[in-house]
Each structure stands twice: as C-alpha cells, then as structure tokens.
C-alpha cells in the first residue's frame, strides 16, 4: 500500500533526524520535528521545553518509580503526572497530523502511535558508538560530560521512555519495516533507500 | 567499502532464505545454505543431520543447562560437547569460505562470525507472525504441531543458540547493517534493495 507517513526512530547521534529531513524534502512531504513539540505545547499549555523533555525521555530519577508512574513531574490534570499527560496529548497530535497530510515524523513514539495505519512506513536509524560520538561532538560541540556519556544517557532514557509507554523493546528489528546503520551505509544512501521505497510503492 | 559477502539472518518462515538466493543469483555470488552444512559435516565427520540441528538451534532441553554447556549431545572431542564442536568447526568453515569468494551465507551465526570483515554486509529478515504462518503452511504443509507452535519453537531455539554462542540478542537492529520486514515490503523488493545496495557500493 502507498505510504504517505514515514516515522523515523533513531539513536542519538545517528543522523536519523537529518535523514528524515532529506526524505521529506525529496518526497515533498511535511517534516515534523520541532513543529510537533510546538503543537503539543500549544494544545496543552505546557512549555515547549517540558514537552521536548517529557515527550521523549524518561527522567533521571529511579527507573522503577518512572515505569510505575510514581515520578515524572508534578500532577497536572485529574491526578495525571505531567509525563503521562504529555504522552496522551502528543499521541493525539501525532494521530491528527498523520490523518491530515503526507509527512515524516521524527521520534516521540510516533512509530507506536501510528502502528495500525497501513499507510505508515516505520524506520529505525542506528550507528556504531564511535560514529555517533564523532557526530555528536561535530554537531553539538564538546561539553562537560563526554560524548560517550551523553549518548549512553540519552539511549538509556529513550529506551526507558519507550518501554513505559509502548511496552516494546527499543531497537528491536521486528518493530520496524526497515532499520538502517547510517554509519555503515552513509546518510545519503539511507535517504535514497527510504525515498526509493516510498516512490516504488506509490 | 565494496561488499562481497552478504549474511542473511532470518526468522523462520520470513522468506529470508529465498531472498538470499535471489540476491546471490542477481549478483552472481555463490549461495551457501545446504552446502555449508555439507562442508561442515565433511570436515568433522559428524552427520549432516546433526550439523543442521546443532549449528543453528538450541536443543529442546532445559535452557539454562544449554547455555551453561551441560547439555548439547555427547562429548566428541577433548571433552567438548557436539554442539560446541559444531559451532567451532562451522565458524572456521564460514571464515574460510568468506575468504575465498563472493557469497551469500544464510544463518548459522555467520553475521557474528564475520563481524570484523569490512567487506561483509549483514542483513536480518523478519515478518509478522501471520505472514510467516501462512508461508510455513504453504511451503512445508500442515503438520501435527500448528504453524504457530512451530514458529514459536524455532524462534525460541534460534534465539537461545544465538545468545549462547554470540552473547548478542537475536533480532536487535544494532547487530545488522539493514533489517527488512519481508511481509510488509515483499520478497522481491527486499532482494531489490539488497542487490541495489551492493551494486552501488561496488
């Protein structure tokens, strides 16, 4: 079936966001990354900063209390914690956007949220630790924490977030139609393969 | 770097073997599946039937005793169990074959054995339970055990075999350069994508 929505899940530093942007440009699809955060913030009245964080990462606190919803910011609606509320509203926004127009959506559990849509192609981008460390330093510069620690921390918190809200294990091949090693294949080739696949099925 | 060896790991019933064969034909590469079993049998003096089984699947016994090498057939060489001996010899045969000629190798931990070769492209093929059940019945017919049970049993034993000998989790995207959902994309398209990638890098 013709694919008009592409979700790109990715490891931090793998270039998944860049690949998503390239694919959107080549196909003439709308690209949702920062705009999605803005939309959720606007619909909830929660700051973009908080949506950015809670809609994609587990907090730094104890993982068990996070999974069991004992932590995750203050309660905001009907006794719901801010992270749960962001997840519910973000899922709603993702579903609405996908129903409206052909688009590429990066991260934020969009693969899971849109799992039942037959017109959705689910992609996962990953790369070696070495490739990602080089890329993170090149893109975001050096910080107090090493690139290695920043990657490990983001991976851990994305994985936990994913487990909590989807029940799935992050990075398992079976959750995606295609996964690509961007370090090995190159960002351009990854974008070529995805674009070619969507055009072929069109 | 130019890829001259392609390893295809696959879920039972996903069509990975068929895709591997198509890719080998299109690229003019040698295809190793049954021939690999024969070669290992010939070099070890162990029957093809036992190599076929022990070189890919955990036994049906207790998983813990399998992982700890307390089970896995009789001891055959220097106190080594038959499954461990098959693994060692099979790995050696895979390395020798890969050094000799351009080829496609299906399963048998070849992705792990050849992980350090820069000229090796590692692929994993998977599909939904439903797609695989239909395919298993279509290809191998009905048996006493349901297609669902046969798939679950083979998956479980491949996963355990993989964990024991590689330490890796079977089906994790990060262990492969590319993973493809053959049920969603179709076998032809999977073969097209892999072939195109190898030709492009050539």
Q: What is the DSSP track for A107-160?
A: STTHHHHTTT-TTEEEEEEE--HHHHHHHHHHHH---SS-HHHHHHHHHHHHHH
Q: What is the pLDDT along chain A (202 residues), one digit of tens a residue?
A: 789 999 999 999 999 999 999 999 999 999 998 888 888 888 888 888 888 887 777 776 666 666 666 666 666 666 777 888 888 888 999 999 999 999 999 998 999 999 999 999 999 999 999 999 999 888 888 787 888 888 888 888 888 888 888 988 889 999 999 999 999 999 999 999 999 999 986 5
* Residues in chain A closer than 8 A to B173 (CB atoms): 124, 126, 171-173, 176, 179
User: Three-class SS of residue B10?
Assistant: strand
Which pLDDT score, from 0 to 100, does residue B75 have? 67
**How far is residue A188's CA from residue A183's CA, in Å, rounded to a whole number?**
11
**How far is residue A123's CA from residue A143's CA, in Å, rounded to a whole number?**
30
Distinct helix (H) and strand (E) counts, chain A: 10, 7
Q: Which of B152, B174, B202 is the best substitution to test chain A (most A C-beta atoms within 10 A)?
A: B174
ipTM for the predicted complex: 0.88
Helix axes of A16-27 and A187-201: crossing angle, nearest 10 degrees: 40
Q: CA-CA-CA-CA torsion for A77, A83, A86, A87, nearest 10 degrees?
A: -120
Higher pLDDT, A131 or B85: A131
Structure tokens at B55: 């070189």
**How far is residue B85's CA from residue A75's CA, in Å, rounded to a whole number?**
59
**Cβ within 8 Å, pair A181-B176:** yes
Q: CA-CA-CA-CA torsion for A154, A155, A156, A160, nearest 10 degrees?
A: 100
**With bands split at pLDDT 50, 70 and 90, how would you rate the model's confidence at B142?**
confident
Residues of A with CB under 8 A from a CB of B: 124, 126, 171-174, 176-181, 184-185, 189, 193, 196-197, 200
**Cβ within 8 Å, pair A173-B124:** yes
- Sequence-distant (6+) residues with CB within 8 A of A36 are A90, A93, A94, A97, A105, A108
Structure tokens at B22: 């198509």
**Cβ within 8 Å, pair B197-A174:** no
**How far is residue A200's CA from residue A179's CA, in Å, rounded to a whole number?**
18
Long-range contacts of A152-156 (CB under 8 A, 24+ apart): A154/A12, A154/A57, A155/A11, A155/A12, A156/A58
Task: Kindly report whether the global pTM for this prediction surpasses the value 0.95.
Answer: no
* Residues in chain B closer than 8 A to A13 (CB atoms): none
Average pLDDT across chain B, whole number: 88
**How far is residue A177's CA from residue B20's CA, in Å, rounded to a whole number?**
18
If we measure between CA atoms, which residue out of B48, B44, B156, B30 comes closest to residue B103? B30
**How far is residue A16's CA from residue A125's CA, in Å, rounded to a whole number?**
5
Q: Which of A173, A183, A199 is the best substitution to test chain B (most B C-beta atoms within 10 A)?
A: A173
**How far is residue B151's CA from residue A73's CA, in Å, rounded to a whole number?**
43
Distinct helix (H) and strand (E) counts, chain B: 10, 7
Q: What is the mean pLDDT of residues B96-108?
A: 93
**With bands split at pLDDT 50, 70 and 90, how would you rate the model's confidence at B77?**
low
Which pLDDT score, from 0 to 100, does residue B187 have? 97
Alpha carbon separation from B29 to B1, B98, B106, B116 (Å, rounded) = 17, 11, 13, 20
**With bands split at pLDDT 50, 70 and 90, how would you rate the model's confidence at B52?**
confident
Higher pLDDT, A141 or B171: B171
Residues of B with CB under 8 A from a CB of A: 124, 126, 171-174, 176-181, 184-185, 189, 193, 196-197, 200
Looking at CA atoms only, how far is residue A53 from chain B in angstroms?
A: 25
How much of chain A is in helix, strand and coil states, percent to nearest 5? Answer: 55, 15, 30
Instruction: Give the chain A residue whose CA is nearest to the CA of B185.
Output: A177
Q: Which helix (H) or strand (E) holds A91?
A: helix A82-100
Structure tokens at A83: 């992270």
Higher pLDDT, A128 or B1: A128
If we measure between CA atoms, which residue out of A103, A99, A104, A95 comes closest to residue A10? A104
- Residue located via tokens 């299906």: B106
Structure tokens at A155: 């991976």
């Amino acid at each position: 079936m013709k694919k008009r929505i592409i979700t790109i899940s990715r490891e931090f530093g793998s270039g998944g966001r860049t690949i998503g942007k390239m694919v959107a440009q080549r196909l003439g699809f709308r690209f949702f990354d920062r705009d999605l955060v803005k939309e959720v913030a606007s619909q909830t009245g929660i700051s973009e900063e908080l949506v950015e964080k809670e809609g994609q990462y587990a907090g730094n606190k104890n993982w068990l209390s996070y999974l069991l919803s004992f932590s995750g910011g203050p309660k905001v609606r009907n006794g719901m914690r801010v992270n749960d509320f962001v997840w519910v509203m973000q899922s709603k926004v993702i579903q609405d956007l996908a129903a409206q127009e052909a688009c590429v959506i990066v991260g934020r559990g969009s693969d899971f949220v849109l799992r039942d849509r037959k017109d959705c192609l689910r992609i996962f981008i990953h790369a070696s630790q070495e490739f990602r460390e080089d890329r993170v330093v090149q893109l975001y510069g050096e910080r107090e924490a090493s690139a290695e620690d920043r990657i490990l921390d983001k991976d851990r918190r994305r994985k936990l977030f994913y487990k909590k809200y989807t029940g799935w294990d992050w990075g398992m091949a079976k959750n995606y139609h295609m996964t690509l090693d961007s370090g090995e294949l190159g960002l351009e080739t990854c974008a070529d393969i995805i674009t070619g696949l969507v055009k072929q099925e069109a």
